[in-house]
Amino acid sequence: MIPISTLIKSRFFSAPKLWPANEQHVRRPGWTELFYDLVFAAAISQLSAPLEADYSLHGVVRYAFLLALVFLAWLGYTTFSTQFAVDDVLQRVLIVAQVFLVAVMAANATGPLSGREAAGFGAAYGGVRAVLALQYARVIGLPGTRSVVIRRIGWLVTAAVVWTASALLPAPHRYLAWCLAFLMDIANSWPPSRGTIVLPPGAAHFPERFGLLTIILLGEFVASVMRGIESQMGWSFLAASAAVLSLALGFALWSCYSDGATGWETRHMRTNKHVVQLRIWIALHFLLFLDIGVLGVGARHGIALPPGGSFGATDQWLICFAAAGAILAIMGIAATSERHTTPRNSWLWFAQVAVAIVVLGLAPVASRIIATALLLVLFLCFVGQTALLLINQRAHQTRARLRVCN
């Protein structure tokens, strides 16, 4: 019979384990990970509120900065959870601490960057990095990972100190501290290639977590559309069409990402080339998340316009740039996959670039067409890109079958 003290100790303090470098089975996200993602959904929703009030280049830059911090906070724990298997009471206490700090970030995400709320946002983010350092400290004794883990802890602690201390600085000096700490976090999130190969994120689990976060961002897109519908006082044919096309645009975005680019595809880290592709893939996901957020707010503005109304000058440029950015980001996500693309299919990639150029070309003339028509064109552009990506997939599958037969 196992002593009660041993059972309690094993439950409260279980030995961390290292997940296999190249997963041979499908490991689904656990309930704890899903709960963690849900908290980030609330944080991202808070970020969108100021953007709706200040839909301008300044508002987008502010949104991008805060979204980058939320994304890095999510990426830090996601990478850890796909590398190490730790599930005891102490780990859950640390996760609850992170969740609380993310909630504090969300609560302080609505004020100007020069205000006290933004200072609290940065300090809370520093706390998230400090908790992540404690999580890594628990796995420092695992064989083969010590040097990589120590390096990561050092960067996390240093960045956490700078982020927290920046809350005490006035606005101009605070921005310099933020830039320094942000560069530290970027360097820590993208370690040397050798470290990534030694301690890679889960080959299948890691991309799936990104797919779930993409769904969260698209959920916020739909929420923006719903708020636009609420703001409509009357329902004409054009107003209803704008709402339907906005929802269709969100679905087309998801279909383009999941069906066309297969953004959740398994990614193994065997060579330096794979590491570089993974880093580009992560950066492109952030660009996609930013574009989805900007597009969602733009769609809300389009629905709220009077029937037959057109987007304003600023709105039309932001919407077209965000749509073109999403097209290029999805194209890059597909291009950095493990599927090899031969020069014979180069026309498919040039065609996608042409679609993005067409979208950008709409920006100067968007004020001359009604908002509903612009939403329709954007929807058709994403449908067209999905078709191009599916053609590329079919060509790759055909070549793979021919290689097997030969």
- Give residue-wise pLDDT tens across range 1-42: 455 555 455 556 666 676 666 555 556 667 778 888 888 888
Give pTM, 2 decimals. 0.89
Cross-strand bridge partners of residue 18: 84
> Are residues 371 and 397 part of one domain?
yes
pLDDT computed for residue 144 by the predictor: 76
Is 6 a member of any domain? Answer: no
Instruction: Say if residues 275 and 335 touch (Cβ distance below 8 Å).
Output: no
Do 341 and 221 lie in one domain? The reply is yes
**326 shares a domain with 257:** yes
Q: Residue 343: pLDDT band by 50, 70, 90 thresholds? A: very low
Which residue range is the domain that position 228 belongs to? 205-405
| 338, part of any domain | yes
pLDDT at 386 over 70: yes
Measured CA to CA in angstroms, residue 323 lies from 190, 362, 379 at distances of: 27, 11, 10
pLDDT digits (tens, 9 = 90+) for 308-335: 888 888 899 999 999 999 999 999 998 8
Q: Which residues are CB-neighbours of 326 under 8 A, at least 6 positions away? A: 253, 288, 291, 292, 295, 382
- Mark which of 181, 198, 215 sits at the end of a domain: 198
Domain count, the chain: 2
Residues 255 and 401 placed together within one structural domain of the fold: yes
191 and 210 co-located in one domain: no
CA dihedral 172, 100, 137, 3 (to 10 degrees): 170
Residue 7 lies in a domain: no
Indicate if 214 and 189 belong to the same structural domain.
Answer: no
Cβ contacts of 91 within 8 Å, gap of 6 or more: 135, 138
Q: Judge if 89 and 238 occupy the same domain.
A: no
Helical spans, DSSP H, in 24-115: 31-53, 57-83, 89-107
Q: Are residues 180 and 43 in the same domain?
A: yes
CA distances from 78 to 115, 132, 199, 256 (A): 30, 10, 14, 24
Tokens of 280: 């580009």
Which helix H or strand E contains 84, and what residues bound it?
strand 84-85
The verdict on residue 3 lying in a domain is no
**83 and 186 assigned to the same domain:** yes
Residue-wise over 324-342: b if at least 16 C-beta within 10 A, else e? bbbbbbbbbbbbbbeeebe
